[in-house]
Structure 1
Amino acid sequence: MQLSIVIPLLNEEQSLPELYNWIVDVMQSNSFFYEIIFIDDGSSDNSWQIIEKLAQENQAVKGIHFRKNYGKSQALHAGFKIAEGEVVITMDADLQDSPEEIPELYRLIHEENYDLISGWKKKRYDSVLSKNLPSKLFNAAARKTSGLKLHDFNCGLKAYKNSVVKDIDVYGEMHRYIPVLAKNAGYHHIDEKVVQHQARKYGTTKFGAERFIFGFLDLITIWFLSRFAKRPMHLFGSLGVMMFLVGFVSAGWIGISKLYKLWHHIPDILVTDNPWFFIALTVMILGTLLFLAGFLGELILRTQKNPERYKISKTLNS
């Protein structure tokens, strides 16, 4: 199979028929052998009923229905799991991503041998203050932290080799950082393509301003995981030992100073009245706790099991 088109969605009953027809027109005009995988992330409208109808009409349509809303990352994880196409395309269901971009994205992966092509919405139709400006700041921080020179990490329109989506684990809210996850998994042939961004035609966005706060927190998480996920003791242990030594040397200096003054009969305050004594003690305790955190992290890493992160209630044609 040439193409798997993975589409996570939440309450998109109005846009689904139009998006489906648009995708099918592009597939047929380019003679692609394809599948369309809709992942309904717990919609409360008629989205699933529409997907059922489309699956009855076209065996290339596959559907996954979550029991409740688990988030875009979990939806992508489920879609990636069953994707069979040589090239996997992800796109949003709100008609802001154009299916007309698919043939060129496919060519870049299939012929140019890229591992991942990320869409770049160079011209956007979103609010400047609520989305554009925060998005620019977010992407600048992601570029600096990850080392990937992409302009739009959060664009839903992306193309992947099938091996990439099988090797990465998209969890939590990490869908924003799939290129970083791919890089950390050893895929380095990653680039971007300017894609058309369209104004939302139906409904309202499912993401609020808080997504940027969570995005920055996730960025810190993925920075940590990319460097220390397999060796937490290297970070926590190093910091712990360093802080303990600083506290120990400080406490030792206070003790030596006290003994020197006693030996020479120099008046001095009690050790417990010296604020630096408590600072040194606190630093030693924090160092010990950080070392133990690293030790516990190593134990958890070696005994963890991957829990099921979502519940699928129904599937279609899969």
Structure 2
Amino acid sequence: MSKRLPQHFPVELSIVIPLLNEAESLPELTRWIHRVLSAHGLTYEVILIDDGSTDASWEVIEDLSQEDIHLRGIRFNRNYGKSAALNVGFKAAVGRVVCTMDADLQDSPEELPDLYQMITHDGYDLVSGWKKKRFDPLSKTIPTKLFNGVTRWISGIQLHDFNCGLKAYNHRVVKSIEVYGEMHRYIPVIAKWAGFRRIGEKVVQHQERKYGVTKFGLERFVYGFLDLLSITFVSRFKKRPMHFFGTVGMLSFLTGILITLWLVGEKVYLASQNLKARDVTDQPLFFLALAAVIVGVQVFVGGFLAEMVQLNGPRKNQYLVRDKLNLE
């Protein structure tokens, strides 16, 4: 099934699994992964990131690592969140393809070989799982559909399930992006803005939770929407803040000026017709115009300062080179 592996990839597939208090599911999950990937002849590594578990998860990982040479473990000192766990796992991964999945057995390892094929043979940069049939209550599925619809509209990426933990990436993607805060929901958006536009989707099996309880509540949808606005803004304007702040500032300034000119023009016209006219400064609209001018100037200056900071800041990872020919 697999092609000959290039020398600089020690394994064909890296599976990055963040976890929090999943001691019961880990033995079954790792055995399942080993059984599937061994049957398909894929070389692999499993990277388990313990995100500050308070149960026996780390002890289980230590025991499993004695039995399974493919298993690697990383333990956080405290709970930092799924994004931090994925970011650390991406940095540690050495496979040609990197897959992510949850540790609660709701993601099936049976999907991993097909995801690997979609990256290596079909040429996708990223493939996201779509849990078309879910075993979740309506209180979770309805907000999820709304959340995914808004994300599709804002990002322009036609995926049905942005929050599915089962995803596959070309190694170049995970080595070129940084996942922070709560941005793990929007890795496809981050990848797209980094220039990786071949994003695909695969219907995957969703299973009922076998052990433990979910670690996420409904508040994740509120935080998720705010994170979407943040990543969209930062992705579009982090290299050119003046384009945003300058445009908003100029529109506000010009609106205030036009209102003022209208009020002055109206005053002159009424006076020329010997009609009674209120003083410009006695009209509430004048103060609205004055506020618009002041705000416009402040926002414009803010954009100018942001541009200076950006231009004088570090240039690390500013440009991502895709290929090189005849260069050392």
TM over 0.5: yes
2:106 maps to 1:93: no
Cα deviation for residue 293 of structure 1 reads 2.7
Determine the C-alpha separation between the residues in 1 that align with 2:160 and 2:217.
Answer: 21
Cα deviation for residue 251 of structure 1 reads 1.7
After superposition, the CA RMSD in angstroms is 1.8
Determine the C-alpha separation between the residues in 2 that align with 1:56 and 1:304.
Answer: 46
2:155 maps to 1:146: yes
Q: Which amino acid aligns with 1:109?
A: I
Determine the C-alpha separation between the residues in 1 that align with 2:50 and 2:294.
Answer: 49
Cα deviation for residue 220 of structure 1 reads 1.5
Partner of 2:277: 268
Q: Which amino acid aligns with 1:21?
A: R
2:88 maps to 1:81: no
Say which SS state the counterpart of residue 87 (structure 1) adopts: strand
Q: 1:180 aligns with which of 178, 185, 189?
A: 189
Identify unmatched segments of 5+ residues in structure 2: 1-10, 316-328
TM-score normalised by L of structure 1: 0.90
Partner of 1:103: 113
2:168 maps to 1:159: yes
Higher relative contact order (CA 8 A, sep 6+): 1
2:285 maps to 1:246: no
Say which SS state the counterpart of residue 188 (structure 1) adopts: coil
Say which SS state the counterpart of residue 138 (structure 1) adopts: helix
Provide Cα deviations, 1:39-98, integer angstroms capped at 9, x if missing partner.
111111111111122223323211111121111111100000010000101000011000
Determine the C-alpha separation between the residues in 2 that align with 1:298 and 1:64.
Answer: 39
2:218 maps to 1:202: no
Identify unmatched segments of 5+ residues in structure 1: 307-318
Determine the C-alpha separation between the residues in 2 that align with 1:94 and 1:293.
Answer: 46
Task: Count how many residue pairs are aligned between Structure 1 and Structure 2.
Answer: 305
Provide Cα deviations, 1:160-208, integer angstroms capped at 9, x if missing partner.
1111111111111111111111111111221100000001111111111
Determine the C-alpha separation between the residues in 1 that align with 2:295 and 2:188.
Answer: 35
TM-score normalised by L of structure 2: 0.88
2:42 maps to 1:32: yes
Determine the C-alpha separation between the residues in 2 that align with 1:155 and 1:107.
Answer: 19
- Identity among equivalent positions (%) equals 58
Provide Cα deviations, 1:118-165, integer angstroms capped at 9, x if missing partner.
00000000011x211111111111111111111111100001111111
Say which SS state the counterpart of residue 96 (structure 1) adopts: coil
Change over 3 Å in CA distance of 1:9–1:300 after alignment to 2: farther
Determine the C-alpha separation between the residues in 1 that align with 2:236 and 2:126.
Answer: 21
Say which SS state the counterpart of residue 38 (structure 1) adopts: strand
Partner of 1:315: none
Partner of 2:321: none
Q: 1:137 aligns with which of 140, 146, 151?
A: 146
Q: Which amino acid aligns with 1:282?
A: A
Q: Which amino acid aligns with 2:162?
A: F
Say which SS state the counterpart of residue 37 (structure 1) adopts: strand
Q: 1:230 aligns with which of 232, 239, 242?
A: 239
Q: Which amino acid aligns with 2:45?
A: E
Determine the C-alpha separation between the residues in 2 that align with 1:299 and 1:49.
Answer: 50
